[in-house]
Amino acid sequence: RESPRDETKPSQTKRRHVLDARKMVLCFCVLLAMAPLSSASNITSSVFGSVTDGMPAAFADYNSDDYIDLFVLRDGGQTLQVMLASDQEPFLKLHPGMRCQFPPRLQITSVVPGDYDGDAHMDVLVTTLDKESKNGTQVHILWGGRDYTNCTADEMPTILSLNGQPLAIDYNRDAIVDIFGVDNNGKRSFWVFNENRTAPTTILMTAEDKNLPNLRQPHSNSFLDVNGDIAPDLVLATQDGFELWYGEKEGGFTYNKTTDAPKASHLGQSLFVDLELRGELQHLVPVCFDDNCANSTIYTYNGGRWRNLNPILRDSLGMTWGFVAPNNQRYTKTIIVRAGDFNMDGYPDLLATLQQVGSSKPRAYLLENIACPTIGSCDGMERTFSVDWTTLNPLNNDSTVGVFYDVYQDGVLDVILAGDGPGGSPQAEQLPGAPDHVWYNNPGGRPPLSCGHTATTQEGDPRSAVATQLPQSAHFSLGLPYTTFGLGRTPNFVDTLVVGAAGHSREWTQIIPNSQMVAILSPLEEPGKWRARLFVTPSKLILLSAAALTGTCGLITALVAGLYWKERREDRIEKLQEAHRFHFDAM
């Protein structure tokens, strides 16, 4: 797809493409301006229309039109459908040809879109539990083509049976999605998929001179670049702590070390964010110190030990809130917090499900990334989180899950809330503010992407940030297939923007704020040939500046025209006076 270097990007123009997932990755970058926040507004009818029973399951660009679509579960979790995103209301519409209904005995437990055969079309991995037997987690692959998915009864066979849910990875760096998990014999294994849709190759995970402990269930295994070499690594949650396995250049992983887990009754899902904008990922873990989660906190691993961030979980009435204790419900089998910069200040914020101590009604709330209130209150860290009690509260009807989603595809992170009970229904909330982010989108599959940028603040200080994309895939992680960076109120160019995938990376410099950059990572093995296109997206400040400039020019033009008209009028009067003047010399 060719386009000029700098041009105004049509706000709602769709662009279709088909990518070779083994050779190409598409990367979008959008950098826009920041605005103050107020309360959210309910846009449910504009987003979902008449669909009121679709429970969010996963995000992906199903039909390769650069709009992020939403996979939903319906009929009590028996049916999988996709809602296609568009630029007209309702912004999410059910795909009429994609309805995958599983037998009543099977309960869908996770949905992982990706390219599992290397044909650049979206396939879908679905895991189920059989209510009538104890055969573990069953894995199905719904093979896809151009704008269709095979999901008849004969086309949804069980290809694997696992103990627990799998993690989507790329074992051999061929940009075909593989999976990691534990088989029914308790052996850690990799299942490597191929191009001909046959049974995947099984590779056992081994480590020299080490007995591998059991993985935690539910697990929080993650696939991301930990050591900054652009090669994706594995972070595994085990009974002994967190194992780190470094990715090898030729594929596979090598054991590095084990870090003890925080001491707590409940450990939640790992989260990797650049907490303090230092250009390095921090490992965050939400925990509960008691069975009922009356005493909750968030730990981060820094300086060789776990540090308690002591997030502010007390409301204005003095009531203490905590995470929801893990149960058998769809979205609360484990504690999950999701990251996104909702206030556009550059620091990653969180979206979590909380409940008041002594109450059984969960609610999703935003947790703002703030400076620590006092020195030492965050166990040696400089940032922590404080619950934003107002933004979502007026519209929050006992929701059990909240996820970030860009409804208008304009860079502003909105929120989808959903309940988990029989009467639960999704609702969309529009967060106020203008976007300020970098957007990386991978419609063809799930090859790992890491990214980072450096910029200069208003005070002239350098600031850097890094992020990772889709590090987890189990337990309805509901990660977005793009990464956002906030720039805050910086008036300067983004100094450098680095994108890495499959052990390769490239750097771009002097990126214009309030713009979208499209980087075409092709061929994937030759970063020197990666290309970038820049699309200018005017913000409100630019539009206001243009209006002010236009008004000033109009005023100046009016003044010049008035003075010109006045001078012409005076010239005519002077000529008339000259014509009627009595010439005494002529007498």
Query: So what's the pLDDT on residue 396?
Result: 60
pLDDT, residue 450, reads 79
Long-range CB contact pairs, 5-14, < 8 A, 24+: 5/533, 5/534, 6/512, 6/534, 6/536, 7/535, 7/536, 8/535, 8/536, 8/537, 8/538, 9/516, 9/535, 9/536, 9/537, 11/410, 11/537, 12/87, 12/409, 14/65, 14/66, 14/67, 14/87
pLDDT over threshold 50, residue 34: no
Q: How many residues are there in the chain?
A: 587
| Residue 430: strand pairing partners | 41
Provide DSSP, 381-392.
Answer: -SEEEEEE-SSS
3-state secondary structure of 273: strand
- Residue 463 is which amino acid? R
The residue ranges of DSSP E strands in 377-493, in sequence order, are 383-388, 401-405, 414-418, 427-430, 449-456, 462-468
CB 93 within 8 A of CB 83: yes
Q: How far is the C-alpha of 109 from the C-alpha of 331, rounded, in Å?
A: 10
Higher pLDDT, 447 or 439: 447
Decide if pLDDT at 3 tops 80: no
* Mean pLDDT across 428-456: 62
Place of tokens 């005494």: 584
Q: What's the CA gap between 291 and 325, in Å, rounded?
A: 7
pLDDT on residue 27: 40
Residue 356, pLDDT score = 92
Instruction: Please give the Cα distance from 302 to 282 (Å, whole number).
Output: 7
- Whole-angstrom Cα distance, residue 132 to residue 128? 12
Where residue 431 falls (left for φ over 0; alpha for ψ -120 to 50; beta otherwise) is beta
Return d(Cα 186, Cα 110) in angstroms, integer.
Answer: 20
Measure the CA–CA gap between 155 and 102, rounded to whole angstroms.
11
Average pLDDT over residues 564-568: 92
pLDDT digits (tens, 9 = 90+) for 61-116: 898 887 899 999 999 889 999 999 998 999 999 998 889 999 988 999 999 999 99
Average pLDDT (355-368) is 91
Lookup result for tokens 């620590």: 372
* pLDDT at position 136: 87
Mean pLDDT of 13-40: 40
Residues 394-410 pLDDT 10s: 666 678 899 999 888 77
pLDDT of res. 482: 80
Residue 385 CA to residue 132 CA, distance in Å, equals 43
Measured CA to CA, the distance from residue 222 to residue 243 in angstroms comes to 10
pLDDT in tens, 472-504: 999 999 998 887 777 776 666 788 888 887 778
Alpha-carbon torsion 386, 279, 60, 411, what sign? Answer: positive
51: exposed, middle or buried (C-beta count within 10 Å: 0-12, 13-18, 19+)?
Answer: middle
Tokens of 57: 């399951």
555 φ, ψ (degrees, to nearest 5): -65, -45
CA–CA separation, 7 and 106 (whole Å) = 51
Which of 357-366, 379-388, 528-537 is predicted with the least confidence, judged by mean pLDDT? 528-537
Mean pLDDT throughout 456-485? 86
Sequence-distant (6+) residues with CB within 8 A of 573 are: none
pLDDT higher than threshold 60 for residue 5: no
Whether 445 shows a pLDDT value over 90: the answer reads no
Q: Which two tokens stand for residue 146?
A: 């151009």
Residue 412, pLDDT score:
77
Q: Which amino acid is at 562?
A: G
Question: Which amino acid type is present at position 87?
Answer: D
pLDDT tens per residue, range 122-155: 999 999 998 888 778 999 999 988 778 888 777 7
Can you name the residues that pair with 283 across neighbouring β-strands?
272, 301
Pick the residue with more confidence: 337 or 507? 337
pLDDT at 403: 94
Give the list of residues 6+ apart from residue 57 with CB closer than 8 angstroms, or none: 71, 72, 73, 80, 108, 110, 111, 476, 478
End-to-end CA distance of the chain, in Å? 87
CA distance 339 to 346: 12
In angstroms, the CA 527 to CA 501 distance is 9
Residue 540 φ then ψ, to 5° = -65, -35
Alpha-carbon distance of 182 to 236, in angstroms, equals 12
Query: Average model confidence (pLDDT) for the chain?
Result: 84
Cβ pair 136, 127 in contact under 8 A: no
For the cut 60, the answer to whether the pLDDT of residue 253 exceeds it is yes
Mean pLDDT of 338-355: 92
- 190-219 residue pLDDT tens: 999 999 999 999 999 999 888 999 999 999
Q: Report how far residue 261's alpha carbon sits from residue 269's, in angstroms, rounded to the nearest whole number.
A: 12
Please write down the HEC assignment for all residues of 541-582.
HHHHHHHHHHHHHHHHHHHHHHHHHHHHHHHHHHHHHHHCCC
- Letter for the amino acid at 439? W
Please tell me the least confidently modeled range out of 21-35, 86-100, 517-531. Answer: 21-35
pTM for the structure as a whole:
0.84
pLDDT of residue 195: 93
State residue 540's pLDDT score: 65
The ranges assigned to domains in the chain are 1-6+18-37+436-552
Is the model's pLDDT at 15 over the cut of 60?
no
**What is the pairing mode between strands 222-224 and 282-288?**
unpaired
For the ranges 29-33, 149-153, 170-174, 536-540, the one whose mean pLDDT is highest: 170-174
Where do the DSSP E strands lie in 2-54? 6-8, 25-31, 41-42
* CB distance 420 to 401 below 8 Å: yes
CB 524 within 8 A of CB 505: no
